[in-house]
Amino acid sequence: MSTFKAPRGTYDLIPPVSATFLAVREALAAPLKRAGYGYMETPGFENVELFARGVGESTDIVTKEMYTLTTKGGDQLALRPEGTASVLRAALEANLHKGGNLPVKLWYSGSYYRYERPQKGRYRHFSQVGAEAIGAEDPALDAELIILAVDAYRSLGLRNFRLLLNSLGDKECRPAYRAALQEFLRGLDLDEDTRRRVEINPLRVLDDKREAVQQQLTGAPLLRDHLCEACKAYHEQVRELLTAAGVAYQDDPKLVRGLDYYTRTTFEFVHDGLGSQSAVGGGGRYDGLSEMIGGPELPSVGWALGVDRTVLALEAEGIELELPAPTSVYAVPLGEEARRALFGVVTELRRAGIATDFAFGGRGLKGAMKGANRSGARFAVIAGERDLAEGVIQLKDLESGEQTPVPLASVAEELRDRLG
């Protein structure tokens, strides 16, 4: 056993569980690839100011949860707590928005870091698949991304998730609502930190999960009652497109999400089988974020879906994904000459696209066959000196126990036929 352990609030992905995480990642990304989203990667750390401006100085993410560090050169960096600000920064730096073909549609996958109180479903290191559509203001784009997320969840077999939907308005109608909400909140019995938040960004208070705060929010003014006509029409188009696509949703007038950059369409996917950590993904429109980080006006929309939370949702519904066996064929050599010959066969099978493993370490037949059974392989290829002299190997079906000789030259073809 090692002296060291994974840091508190983190986890190691180890086979066979890691195979489920990979399958979930691939399932969440598959609809995006079909819809023209290109893959992007960004560094695991960025300038602190990128997140302070983009995510919002009043958010818990920036004030309490970011991992920050100072380099030997004096630069202030932060491990990325979310993906959107980094992806937009990278797109602007690469001038992707100047190609004339807007929106720029990107997807990404990676690890993110927040200093949170560890509990099931909430980690300090977590994995997400995200998507961003940069440079277009179109309700069809908002609906497209929501539908792609729904399709991804459904492809995994999930059924007990709900889509919550809201509109946060825009720079035309939000100021009046902000003033009305501040007036309401200033009359409540709030702690000093929350009162400070009321002055910086009062919408953050609506997102406060503490029961003592939520009880006082009864009767708070709702943004939907302050939306301008343009925002109302935009939101109604999103709703109509979702309904036409067979996507059910629930209007949630208090949904604001935890980031300052959202405008207009805001949404969250929740799963009722996960307890307090019920959010499995979410996103929204962020039309002003590009300008916040020094770029041009680029209306955009995106989402991030939690891989960890999606795996927990699968467990809550009792869904076991059908995963391909890591090994289809296991090679068992009997003797040094057979070891050299079968190693060549293993290489040939792998190059033919057949997942194949080898009995390493010079084990005897009994030990090697135990390894074959533990590997989950469907077939074993076994060879000794007599087999090689006859130009054959023994092909054993590990399910039925049937064993037949197969000419050495046609092993790959025979296995392709049997494995389909």
CATH classification of the domain holding 232: 3.30.930.10
The answer to whether residues 58 and 137 belong to one domain is yes
The answer to whether residues 333 and 303 belong to one domain is no
Q: How far apart are CA 303 and CA 284, in angstroms?
A: 6
The answer to whether residues 249 and 117 belong to one domain is yes
**Structure confidence at residue 189 (pLDDT):** 85
Q: Which residues contact 357 (CB under 8 A, 6 or more apart)?
A: 327, 329, 330, 331, 346, 375, 377
In a domain, 187, yes or no: no
- Token pair, residue 350, equals 């792998």
| Cα 383 → chain centroid | 45
Higher pLDDT, 263 or 120: 263
- Exposure string for 356-381, b = 16+ CB within 10 A, e = fewer: bbbbeeeeeeeebbebbeebebbbbb
The answer to whether residues 374 and 286 belong to one domain is no
- 71 annotated to a ligand binding site: no
- 416 annotated to a ligand binding site: no
Q: What is the pLDDT of residues 291-333, one digit of tens each?
A: 989 999 999 999 999 999 999 999 999 999 998 888 999 999 9
Query: Which stretches does DSSP call E strand in 56-103?
Result: 68-70, 76-79
Q: What angle do CA 380, 383, 387 make, to 5 degrees?
A: 135
Nearest Cα to 128, choosing from 48, 54, 24?
24
The answer to whether residues 251 and 277 belong to one domain is yes
**Structure confidence at residue 206 (pLDDT):** 80
The model's pTM is 0.89
Q: Which of 264, 295, 316 is the C-terminal boundary of a domain?
A: 316
- 413 annotated to a ligand binding site: no
**Structure confidence at residue 180 (pLDDT):** 87
Q: Which of 316, 350, 370 is the C-terminal boundary of a domain?
A: 316
In a domain, 196, yes or no: no
Q: How far apart are CA 95 and CA 50, in angstroms?
A: 17
In a domain, 259, yes or no: yes
- 336 annotated to a ligand binding site: no
Nearest Cα to 269, choosing from 358, 151, 149?
149
The answer to whether residues 53 and 83 belong to one domain is yes
Q: Which residues contact 386 (CB under 8 A, 6 or more apart)?
A: none
The answer to whether residues 136 and 273 belong to one domain is yes
In a domain, 137, yes or no: yes
- 82 annotated to a ligand binding site: yes
The answer to whether residues 242 and 386 belong to one domain is no
Q: Which residues contact 120 (CB under 8 A, 6 or more apart)?
A: 275, 277, 312
Q: What angle do CA 391, 396, 400 make, to 5 degrees?
A: 155
- 262 annotated to a ligand binding site: yes
- 257 annotated to a ligand binding site: yes
The answer to whether residues 152 and 244 belong to one domain is yes
**Structure confidence at residue 392 (pLDDT):** 92
Q: How many domains does the chain have?
A: 2
**DSSP readout, 222-240?**
-GGGG--HHHHHHHHHHHH
Q: What is the pLDDT of residues 100-156, one digit of tens each?
A: 889 999 999 999 999 988 777 788 999 999 999 999 999 999 999 999 999 999 999
- 83 annotated to a ligand binding site: yes
* Residue 26, φ and ψ in degrees, nearest 5: -65, -40
| Percent above pLDDT 70 for the chain | 98
- 37 annotated to a ligand binding site: no
Radius of gyration of the CA atoms of the chain, in A = 27
Which CATH number belongs to the domain containing residue 383 in this structure?
A: 3.40.50.800
Q: What is the pLDDT of residues 37-76, one digit of tens each?
A: 999 999 999 999 998 887 776 667 777 888 999 999 999 9
Q: Is the pLDDT of residue 187 over 70?
A: yes
In a domain, 204, yes or no: no
The answer to whether residues 141 and 276 belong to one domain is yes
Q: 274 lies in which domain range?
A: 17-173+227-316
